[in-house]
Amino acid sequence: MLLVDDDVRFAAALETALRQRGYDVVRAPTAADALSAPPVDIVLLDLGLPDKDGIEVCRELRRRGTVPIIAVTARGEERERVLGLRSGADDYVVKPFGMAELQARIEAVMRRSVRMSAPAPMRVGDLVVDVHARRVTVADKEVALTRKEFDLLAALARQPGGAVTRDQLLAEVWHTTWTGSVRTVEVHVASLRAKLGDPGFVETVRGVGYRLRTG
């Protein structure tokens, strides 16, 4: 994640809050730093930068690619919001804001980005997970999953072979950071395994979370 903001105290506090929620953050205090930063999954962009208007930075980032951009700014007037969105921002958050709202907006923008990328179906032996079509088959037979079961499987399928923590699953599938919900993850994993017919498709990574078997 790229955090573009020249307010040192605000950026430091926001970076800390984001890191506590599991995000990797790269800070850029100027437009020049933002435009020379390495590729990231999402950009939080302040529009009041010292060396160039944030609107121009937004337009330049959009010309370069499809990275999700959320304008995070004190400019709250309707015309400013419209201008920001028309300049390529995917969402617009006005300061001051709550972290719960910002995180929800980040997750929503990232979900839309994933859907738009239309990834190829994930195949693990007889298991096929088509995230774009929201369809799962085992041995060419469609498996009926609940919405949460599918979202859980999709979250694992997006990182095939990689461990996905319980906290990540709670944030992405249930949109919560409350650790008391971990039991909910376990119950849905058990149900998912039963419906897939092979518990080995979803492997437990002890002390971490789960991963989707790749071979």
Note the helical H segments in the chain: 8-20, 31-35, 54-64, 78-86, 99-117, 147-157, 166-169, 182-196
Its CATH class, for the domain covering 2-116, is alpha beta
122-212 folds as Arc Repressor Mutant, subunit A (1.10.10)
Where do the domains of the chain lie? 2-116, 122-212
Question: CB–CB of 192/202 below 8 Å?
Answer: yes
pLDDT in tens, the chain (215 residues): 999 999 999 999 999 999 999 899 999 999 999 999 988 999 999 999 999 999 999 999 988 888 899 999 888 888 888 888 989 999 999 988 999 999 999 998 888 776 555 567 888 888 898 887 889 999 999 999 998 999 999 889 888 788 999 888 888 888 776 766 678 899 999 999 999 998 889 999 998 999 998 76
Q: What is the pTM of this model?
A: 0.55
Give pLDDT, residue 42.
94
110: exposed, middle or buried (Cβ count in 10 Å: 0-12, 13-18, 19+): middle
